[in-house]
Chains A and B, each alone.
Chain A
Amino acid sequence: MGVGPHASKKMIDTVVIPLLKIAIVLNATLVGVTYMVLLERKVIAWAQSRLGPMRVGPWGILQPVADAVKLMLKEDITPTRADKWVFTAAPIISMVPALIVYAVIPFGGDAPGEVAHIFGRDVPLYITRINVGLLYIVSVASVGVYGIILAGYSSNSKYPLLASLRASAQLISYEVAVTLTLVSVILVAGSLDMVSIVERQRDRHIWFFFLQPLAFVIVLIGGLAETNRAPFDLPEAEQELTGGFHTEYSGMRFALFFLAEYANMIVVSSVVTTLFFGGWLPPLPTWLPFLAYVPGWIWFFLKSFVFLYIFIWIRATLPRYRYDQLMRLGWKVLIPLAIANLVVTGIVKVMLL
């Protein structure tokens, strides 16, 4: 049972490198999420002709640190009549799916130019590549809704209860539309594997946005609704439900909900980037070949950033939908459109390919 050079090599391959990747992605996500909050505050402030946070650090860039310290030091109150275990579990149930989704998101590919070099090995820039990547994302992300439902239920308070009822109805109906739409993308790509989907876009020299523009719009709207972002932020509508499902939460548990929301936003924009905008691929490779010198993960982040910016922009601009209107939009507009898109995609695929 000696630890020979072969065993240690295997050790690096199976344990060290994956752990390293997980650590990097997890930390990058958490830092990214906190800075996402700052970005949102800044962008909304600019939209509203304000400055936004300016006091902590130059131009407020240390604001996330101050926020984190504040939230961690705050008293963490559990209401006396709350269901204590569920009340504690809810934010965790919300946060964990939002983070583990990143396991299958490819920041780079397998091709020689796209991998990183660690310990003399070629390491692709994704944590894992599974052949049901997209299915994994959809199913794991839908677990997050339990966090919201349980938070509303366990708070034993009326406003959170109303909010969590809204949330469950909203998330379930929009998930139908989004998942149906993703099926048509899968038809085009011919794979559920996130890396393959991007590779298919590279091989066919076209981003799937141009093949599936309607699908992109539905996924973007559905993504807004699934992450509880404006104009679909009914479950946390401050003006109506005084904060919604997290009314009774404070301190770090509140922060978990908050972080989960932003983590989900990043997930949605990453998925949209991967499915419709060629993931880590540089734009216009034929006409602008020099863009290929920029590393793939930078392209990935730039593209995701555009969608994150759009999310914030929408929040700054639009009023909020009402509950019944939201359901009407979901069931009477998006789901029929998604089905129609799926049918047309299927027919075209069978007839032409």
Chain B
Amino acid sequence: MQQVSTVRHGAMFDTDELVLNMGPQHPSTHGVLRVVLRLDGEKVVDADVVIGYLHRGIEKLSENRNWTQIILLTDRMDYVAAATSNVGYCETVEKLMSIEVPRRARYVRTILCELQRIASHCLWLGTHAMDIGAMTVFLYAFRERELILDLFEEFCGARLTYNSMRIGGLPLDIPPGWAQKVLEFCKIMTSKIDEYETLLTHNRIWLERTKGVGVIPAAEAVALGLCGPALRGSGVPRDVRKDEPYAAYDEMDFDIPIGTAGDTYDRYLVRIEEFRQSLRIIRQATEGLPEGPIVGKVPRLIKPAAGETYHAIESPKGELGYFIVSDGKSTNPYRFRVRPPSFCNLQALPRLVRGHLVADVVALIGSIDIVLGEVDR
């Protein structure tokens, strides 16, 4: 074996490895990710992921903000799924303070989380397809994402960083007629998913580009700490929504799609199916939306007793966890720590790209679906 590798590395010709710096300004690294590739021809021998270009110190900043102000900072982590981050944080504080959230608020949170999941997956699908060269899917996916942003704008006034949650419930009730619009959106979206699939799922080139690329077996995926669709693509049915239900997921009926091969194509199929499951949840939650208050019993001054808690939710990218320590004396958290799914998934990248070609690197960055705002915080 040793001999084979020496010959391949150029005993005959004096070949060198080419070090290629991909990013942080590169069209396909989804933000400011930098990957230092060592190439043998076009084949990736090794990859080194360099992060931190978008570090804003959100965790440290949070220690100097009061509990309500932190909601706004969580918007800036996964900025394509801000509402999910809001929900995750608020639920963690609620858990720490044992606040009961009214059922209506939990239902609206579920609707928002799933709308956000669809919006985030739209962005993922568009950019992923674009990385592989299918440029039209990008515009189609953004067209539908726009509808979701409109719904969010009507709900909370913002289109990207929503600040749409409050500890104990919602800042405001849903506007009149909003639920109807959500159902209409579900109807539109159902046909649009088929449209995406027409363009990609059975496309020969798409299959060749994604099948067998970046295969990661279930055991290794678990060992690497993958989460979300990246883990489910390998066939591990782990989903926080089912395993440790939050918001109103315990009252919803939905399935967890899983893949078999653990390659880029399976991760793609899992996310496509998640579109459909999300729509199913949104329909159930919107149609069964209970009446009632939208905020629970929250003290005027939020000052949790000394203690610590960890709470995780299923963000569009995977398990988004918050670990919060309160010293019980101040109105700021003593320690605020986030377990971002993108960060944990990103560490699988060197393992995934090894042995593949440069073109697969961009496909794989897209396949694990990262947001640098969340990786660097």
Taking Cβ atoms with an 8 Å cutoff, the residues of A that contact B are: 44, 47-50, 158-159, 162, 166, 230-231, 233-234, 237-242, 315-325
Contacts and interface: CB of A to CB of B under 8 A. Distances in A.
Chain B interface main SS type: helix
Contacts of A324: 357
Given A49-B139, A158-B18, A158-B20, A320 B205 contact: yes
A240 B140 contact: no
A313 to B, nearest CB: 10
A323 B208 CA distance: 11
A195 B65 CA distance: 80
A320 B210 CA distance: 11
Question: Taking each of A49, A317, A322, which has the highest tally of chain B beta carbons within 10 Å of its own beta carbon?
Answer: A322
Given A158-B18, A240-B28, A240-B358, A319 B133 contact: yes
A247 to B, nearest CB: 11
Nearest to B206: A319
12 contacts: A44-B135, A48-B139, A158-B18, A239-B362, A240-B358, A240-B362, A241-B358, A319-B200, A320-B205, A320-B359, A321-B205, A323-B42
B61 interface: no
A68 B199 CA distance: 34
A244 to B, nearest CB: 12
Contacts of A48: 135-136, 138-140
Interface in B116-174: 129-136, 138-140, 143
A233 B42 CA distance: 16
B360 interface: yes
Contacts of A315: 135
Contacts of A242: 26-27
Contacts of B362: 239-240
Contact of B208 (A239, A240, A317, A321): A321
Given A48-B140, A239-B27, A242-B26, A319 B205 contact: yes
A191 B246 CA distance: 76
B208 A322 contact: yes
Contacts of B138: 48
Contacts of A158: 18, 20-21
B293 to A, nearest CB: 42
Contacts of B42: 162, 166, 323
Contacts of B129: 319
In this complex, the interface size class of chain B, counting residues with CB under 8 Å from chain A, is 20 to 34
A279 to B, nearest CB: 32
Nearest to B133: A320
Contacts of A319: 129, 132-134, 200, 203, 205-206, 209
B135 A323 contact: no
B132 to A, nearest CB: 4
Nearest to A241: B358
Given A162-B42, A318-B134, A320-B132, 14 more contacts: A49-B139, A49-B140, A159-B20, A166-B42, A237-B133, A242-B26, A315-B135, A317-B199, A318-B133, A319-B203, A320-B134, A321-B208, A322-B357, A323-B42
A233 B359 CA distance: 12
Interface of B: 18, 20-21, 26-28, 42, 129-136, 138-140, 143, 199-200, 203, 205-206, 208-209, 357-362
A180 B209 CA distance: 28
A318 B207 CA distance: 12
Contacts of A159: 20
Contacts of B27: 238-239, 242
B133 A323 contact: no
Nearest to A161: B18
A324 B209 CA distance: 10
Contacts of A231: 133, 205
A48 B144 CA distance: 12
A284 B173 CA distance: 69
Contacts of B209: 319-322, 325
A233 B133 contact: yes
Sorted from nearest, which 3 A-B pairs have the closest CB atoms? A320-B133, A48-B139, A319-B134
Given A319-B129, A320-B133, A322-B209, A237 B359 contact: yes
Contacts of B136: 44, 47-48, 316-317
Given A162-B42, A239-B28, A322-B360, A230 B133 contact: yes
Contacts of A323: 42, 357, 359
A93 B129 CA distance: 34
Question: Taking each of B129, B139, B361, B362, which has the highest tally of chain A beta carbons within 10 Å of its own beta carbon?
Answer: B139
Nearest to B361: A240
A254 B121 CA distance: 36
Nearest to B43: A324
Nearest to A317: B136
B128 to A, nearest CB: 10
Contacts of B28: 239-240
Contacts of A317: 134, 136, 199
B75 to A, nearest CB: 28
Contacts of A321: 205, 208-209
A47 B198 CA distance: 14
Contacts of B199: 317
A229 to B, nearest CB: 11
Contacts of A241: 358
A23 B248 CA distance: 73
A32 B9 CA distance: 49
A325 B211 CA distance: 13
A49 B361 CA distance: 30
A85 B183 CA distance: 63
A50 B133 contact: no
A277 B157 CA distance: 58
Given A49-B139, A50-B139, A158-B18, A318 B359 contact: no
A193 B143 CA distance: 50
A163 to B, nearest CB: 10
